[in-house]
Each structure stands twice: as C-alpha cells, then as structure tokens.
Structure 1
C-alpha cells in the first residue's frame, strides 16, 4: 500500500488528486458518479463578489487534443456560494478549495474577507489569470507586481491556518519571476497552470468559433507546457507546494507532474467525458508508484530533478590488482655464456 498523503501549506490531504477550478461545477454534478470525499480536494468554480452570467454562447469549442473555452467566469456570487454551495460540500465530506477572482485587488480582498474565515474552507486559490479591469484588460498574472498585490490582499484577509495558493498563467515571459513574486507576497503554494490563450476558426461561418474570439486552451495539448512550468518553478522554489494542472487524464500523467515537482494534481478537461476520472487517476497513480517500489508519494516529488542513478552503482566493483613492475626478460644461457667469453 502506497502512502498517497500530501500537504498543501499546513493542510494534509489524503491523496494528491483534486479537480481543476471550473471543471467540477458546484460539486453536485460529480457527486452523481462518486463520493467527493474520495478526492484529495474539490476546487470550486471561481467565486466573485457578485453573480455573473458569463459570456454568451458559443463559449466552448473542441480542438485537437483539447478544448477551447471562453466562459467569462459565470457564477452565483459569494453570498449564494456561502449560503448554498459551501455547506452542501461540507456535508459531503469534501475538502473544499475555493477559487477566488475579481476585477481589482480590492474586489479580491472583499471576496477573501467573506471566505477567509468561513467554516468548510480548506484553502483559497487565487485566480490571477482574470482580466485586470484597471490595466486595459490584461491579466493580473501577466505582471509580477500586479499578481503579488492580489495575493497580498487575499492573504491579509484569510486566516493563517487556511493556505493561499496562487494560480498562474503560462502566457508570460517568465513564470518563475511571477511565482517568486507571489510567494514573497504570502502565497503558501502555487497552481500551475491555468489555460493558455488560443483561437479556433469555424470554417462554416468563416468567423472565430467563440463569441469571445479567443479562449483558454486546456486538455492534453497543454500538458508539455504545464510540465515545463512546474519543472522550472520547482527548481527555483523547491520548498513551495505546487499543484500541477493541465491535461491530466491518467495516473501516469499525474506521475509526470509529481516527478516534475508537484505535490498534487488538478483534473479538469477529462472530467467532461469521464466524470469519475478523479478516483480512477488516484488508483492508477498508486499502482504506478507501487510498480516503481515507492512507499510514499513524497518520495517521487521532484525526482526528475535529481541526478540519474548510475546503472552500475549497485554493483560491487571488481578488484583491480596492480600490474607487476616491468622487468627485462632474463637472458638466455647461451647469451650469458657468450657474454662471459673474452672478445678476440
């Protein structure tokens, strides 16, 4: 039996598999297929201060090895979430990580003020990939300073025993710089990555397929990008917990993220065709670790960063005996006799 427990900040989770924000609905959708308590944690859709309808349809398009979405962060608002969804999740025994979003640092702070000490909140995930209304529609996560400001605002209004995670976008010049800024601002961990911006064209209408024109690309297509981000950030911040998100569909996908440096993984796009994927991936990950003779998940975290094991390291080297010193060949008896004969 492999010990799959893991830690995010000061919180221990029974296993490292959780949902990705926005992909599990309110939790009721997934609860039809499995017990939510079997997940390491359930991550909610991003909660904002007021209700939002999101973008008009079409806002989802299928792409090769992935999905493109432009949802516009639809949600009921923090009041309804606290009154309806959070208590229900607590009744299911779910460990709930609440994704928080806003259009300004002040709005993030206001949402965190409502959630930061609410019973049933395991952690907060700060979605800094939201459009920044104060900066011409750019994302907070595009700038280390803006991302840090949002994280600092959330951390200031959250109980110290509730971890704050920063969810970062890969669409930046240097994700390590943004990660460092967020950790310096008080983030207890990081979620890597959010979707990457993409576009698809409907060749029937000859127009962008999404109402919002561009959207967020998710699914297996972005897994190599997500792995690169996790690997780079873990190398720079080896003691910071990382949730690896992006194209996790199997236990071996999850193992890749763990080896790159993540201590947990988020399952997203695959839930739309396999709603019970979370528990399945946890079982597959446990089997994969057992096959590699690992007793604990923690033994595999960041293993890809360690020097490769010499294939001959376990062999006892053969004893190499020193060669005897070189000596001249003994002269033949005839040669000795000839040497003794006087020269004429």
Structure 2
C-alpha cells in the first residue's frame, strides 16, 4: 500500500487510516452495512468467536451507568463453523477489499488452536485477535490473560498452527501489564490490543440486587480512557511490537492521545453504539487534528509523548 498522510501499516493489516471498531462493536459487520460505507475505515474487527455457539449470559447484556456502560454479553456468537461457512463468505462478497481481523476465544489452549487452524485457511481473514481478557465468562478469556505464563502459553500454542499475524488483547484488570505484554510478545504475538473492559459492578437500591446477572460486568466508555492511556504507555515501554489502542475514545483528541501513548491504531466501541456515524466523523476530523498538533503524518503521533517527569516549573518550585 502506498503510504499517505493517514495510512498505517501493521502486521497483516494495511490501513488507509488508523480507525476500526473494537471486537463486538460491529458484530460481524453485516448489520452495519447501511450505516455508512465501511470501506472508509482502516479495518473491520469481528466479534469474538468460539468453537461452539454460545447463547451468552442471561439478559440484560448492557446497562447504563453515570460513568459509562457496563456489559455482560458473555461472548454470545454463532460458533466457528457458522462464522466460517456462512458469515465470512457473505462478508467477503459485501466488503472484499476491507482488511478484516477476527477475534477468537477458547476455554482451553486447544480451543484457541482449533479456532486458529480454521481461520488460518480463510484468506479473507488477515489477522487473529486473541481475546485473553473477556471478564464475563467462567472459563477462558481473562482467565488466560492475567498471568504472563498462561497468556504466553496461548500465544505460543496458536503461533504453532498459523502464520497469520496474532494480536493479543490484554486485560486492564491486573496489577502490572508490563510482564504480560512482554511475555506474549516473546511468545510470538505480532501486536497487542489494549485495553478490554474494566471489571465493575452496579447495584439496584430498590431490589438490593446486582443489575447484571453475573453481578459484575465490563465497564467501558470515557471513564476508562485514562486507564487505557496509562496501560498503553506502560506496555509500549517494554515491547517493540505495535499496539492497537482501545478504551473510551469519544473524540479525535482522545484517539490521538492513545496513539501519543504508544498505539499505532485505534479501536472504538461504546461511542459507535451512541453514534453510528462516529468512525466517519473521526476520519473526517483527522486532517485538521494533525495540523493543529503539528504532525506531518498520523504515524508520527505514535509514541510521541514527551519524556517525563517534566522539568519543575517556577510556580511548582515556590509552592
């Protein structure tokens, strides 16, 4: 792909711009074909798929809070065979030129390998996002991603069965992201995705019960954005592989802030549910934002955060 001011080249993903939906935001894309021309995006990330179909957790799946939204979908999806044999052929016909990455999750290491083998054979899929961070299931997901050894075990096992680029989606629900980021990079991950939702809880005062079936759920929205910025910055300090940032992006400035911290591209979730035109609006806002902040290309934003602690100001020195 010819480099332009807005393009980003990632393993397996040649992006015309750095913006894409987060896994689950556009499900499998087919329900969003009428929202706008999806080819405007840098890439399409598909909903997390498991070996067998999953009904997900009892509803409600999504609730609003004063700080954002919480979800407890539980990886509901039609299963690997249906996605491979029915969904992807239809999607390839509708969007033949858009780079596509699929998210996968297993309850065991073998299930991750099984998924990778199936999608390895489908040329339309350009990369795999390994969901090591879903907080809303009993087995798999975050169970693998909160420990460096288990996270690396999954990545290494999947690396054995596919040559497709692997992006490890890591959890913010850990004390220190750095050893986990380094472990999956050393195990063969081609990139990271940071962050998934933050575990939270919301209670109903009238019923004295949790508002979600499992009690806890995944918090998303603008409230988690500073957490994403911090964790991307921390991960970028210990790995040389690219990072796709996600977490609370509600403006072009918020997207560029994730990139400033170290992300090469950006996923958007919650805001796309509020505004179906949000990603096209981000794309349209990018040129003026680059001009405003003095960047020649969007690639120049990545990791451009100034060294700190910054020098103490005169005011700080006297107070």
Is the pair's TM-score, using the shorter chain for normalization, greater than 0.5?
yes
Work out whether 1:133 is the aligned partner of 2:139. Answer: yes
SS in 1 for 2:126: strand
Q: Which residue of 2 aligns with 1:331?
A: none
SS in 1 for 2:47: coil
Which digits, 9 at most, give the CA deviation of each residue in 1:176-204, with x for residues without a partner? 11000000110000000000100000122
Deviation of 1:307 (Å): 7.0
Q: Which residue of 1 aligns with 2:114?
A: 110
- Partners of 2:44 and 2:126 lie apart in 1 by 9
- Partners of 1:249 and 1:99 lie apart in 2 by 23
Residue 71 (structure 1) aligned to one of 65, 70, 73:
73
- Partners of 1:126 and 1:180 lie apart in 2 by 15
Work out whether 1:87 is the aligned partner of 2:89. Answer: yes
Which digits, 9 at most, give the CA deviation of each residue in 1:43-74, with x for residues without a partner? 11101101111011122111123111111100
Deviation of 1:219 (Å): 0.7
Residue 21 (structure 1) aligned to one of 20, 23, 38:
23
SS in 2 for 1:236: coil
- Partners of 1:51 and 1:156 lie apart in 2 by 25
TM-score by length of 1: 0.84
SS in 2 for 1:172: coil
CA contact (8 A) 1:252 1:285 kept: no
Work out whether 1:147 is the aligned partner of 2:151. Answer: yes
- Partners of 1:299 and 1:277 lie apart in 2 by 23
Q: Which residue of 2 aligns with 1:198?
A: 200
Q: Which residue of 1 aligns with 2:316?
A: none
Q: Which residue of 2 aligns with 1:253?
A: 254
Which digits, 9 at most, give the CA deviation of each residue in 1:263-300, with x for residues without a partner? 00000001111112112112222320122332211111
Deviation of 1:10 (Å): 4.7
Aligned pair in 2 of structure 1 residues 307, 197: CA closer, same or farther (>3 Å)? closer
Q: Radius of gyration: which is bigger?
A: 1
Work out whether 1:57 is the aligned partner of 2:31. Answer: no
CA contact (8 A) 1:263 1:301 kept: yes
Provide structure 2 residue ranges, at least 5 long, that are not aligned to the other structure.
312-319
- Partners of 2:238 and 2:102 lie apart in 1 by 26
RMSD: 2.0
SS in 1 for 2:35: coil
Aligned length: 305
Q: Which residue of 2 aligns with 1:101?
A: 105
Q: Which residue of 1 aligns with 2:211?
A: 209
CA contact (8 A) 1:2 1:289 kept: no
Q: Which residue of 2 aligns with 1:42?
A: 44
Deviation of 1:308 (Å): 10
Deviation of 1:305 (Å): 4.0
TM-score by length of 2: 0.91
Q: Which residue of 2 aligns with 1:278?
A: 279
Aligned pair in 2 of structure 1 residues 309, 15: CA closer, same or farther (>3 Å)? farther
